[in-house]
Structure 1
Amino acid sequence: MRFSERYGYKSIRDVIQKESMDDHLKNGLWSIFDTYIWNKVTHKHWQYRHTDSSNIYTLIYNYYFNFFKKPIDTIPTQTSDTKVRIRDYFFTATWHEIYSFIEETIEHYPQSLLSHKNDFIQSINHVLERENSAYRLIGNEITSITSEQEIQSIEEALENSNAFSGVQQHLNQALQLMSDRQSPDYRNSIKESISAVESICKIVTKNDKASLGQALKLIEDKYGLHEALKKSLSLLYGYTSDGDGIRHAMLEASNLNYIDTKFMLVACTNFINYLIEKIKD
Structure 2
Amino acid sequence: MLFSKRKGLTPVKIEIQKDKIDKELRYGLWNALHLMIWEQYNGGSYISFENTNLFWLFRKYWHCFFKLPIDNMPHNFQSVIERIRKYFFECEWYDVYDFIEFTAQNCPDNLKEEFIEFVNMLLEKELSAYRFVDEQLTDITDEQEIESIETAINSSNKFSGTKIHLKAALSLLTDRKKPDYRNSVKESISAVEALCVVLSDDPKATLGASLNSIEKSHSLHPAFKKALANLYGYTSDSEGIRHALLDEPTISYSDAKYMLVSCSAFINYVIGKMSEK
TM-score, scaled to structure 1: 0.86
Partner of 1:75: 73
How many residue pairs match? The answer is 273
RMSD: 2.7
Question: Distance between the aligned counterparts of 1:75 and 1:51, measured in 2?
Answer: 12
Residue 86 of structure 1 pairs with residue 84 of structure 2: yes
- Summarize deviations over 1:40-81 as a string: whole Å, max 9, x none: 1232x627x875454312111111211112222322233212
Amino acid at match of 1:18: K
Question: Distance between the aligned counterparts of 2:54 and 2:4, measured in 1?
Answer: 41
Partner of 2:275: 280
Q: For residue 267 of structure 1, report the CA deviation from its aligned partner.
A: 0.6
Write out aligned runs for 1:252-271 (5 A).
Answer: 252-271=247-266
- Summarize deviations over 1:81-133 as a string: whole Å, max 9, x none: 211221222222222211111221122113xxx22321111111111112222
CA 50–5 in structure 1, closer or farther in 2 if over 3 Å, else same? farther
The answer for unaligned runs of 5 or more in structure 1 is none
Amino acid at match of 1:199: A
Amino acid at match of 1:131: E
CA 172–97 in structure 1, closer or farther in 2 if over 3 Å, else same? same
Q: For residue 253 of structure 1, report the CA deviation from its aligned partner.
A: 5.0
Q: For residue 177 of structure 1, report the CA deviation from its aligned partner.
A: 1.0
C-alpha contact 2:200 2:210 (8 A) present in aligned 1? yes
The percent identity for this pair of structures is 41
| 3-state DSSP of counterpart to 1:184 | coil
Partner of 2:64: 66
The answer for unaligned runs of 5 or more in structure 2 is none
Partner of 1:177: 172
CA 11–225 in structure 1, closer or farther in 2 if over 3 Å, else same? closer
Moved more, 160-169 or 148-157: 160-169
Partner of 1:99: 97
Aligned counterpart in structure 2 of residue 214 of structure 1, from 191, 209, 213: 209
Partner of 1:131: 126
| 3-state DSSP of counterpart to 2:19 | coil
CA 118–216 in structure 1, closer or farther in 2 if over 3 Å, else same? same
Partner of 1:41: 41
C-alpha contact 1:186 1:253 (8 A) present in aligned 2? no
Partner of 1:141: 136
Question: Distance between the aligned counterparts of 2:237 and 2:122, measured in 1?
Answer: 32
Amino acid at match of 1:71: P
Amino acid at match of 1:134: A
CA 160–98 in structure 1, closer or farther in 2 if over 3 Å, else same? same
Moved more, 259-268 or 232-241: 232-241
Partner of 1:155: 150
CA 6–56 in structure 1, closer or farther in 2 if over 3 Å, else same? farther
Question: Distance between the aligned counterparts of 1:60 and 1:142, measured in 2?
Answer: 21
TM-score, scaled to structure 2: 0.88
C-alpha contact 1:106 1:140 (8 A) present in aligned 2? yes
Q: For residue 246 of structure 1, report the CA deviation from its aligned partner.
A: 3.5
Aligned counterpart in structure 2 of residue 246 of structure 1, from 220, 239, 242: 242
Q: For residue 238 of structure 1, report the CA deviation from its aligned partner.
A: 2.7
| 3-state DSSP of counterpart to 1:254 | coil
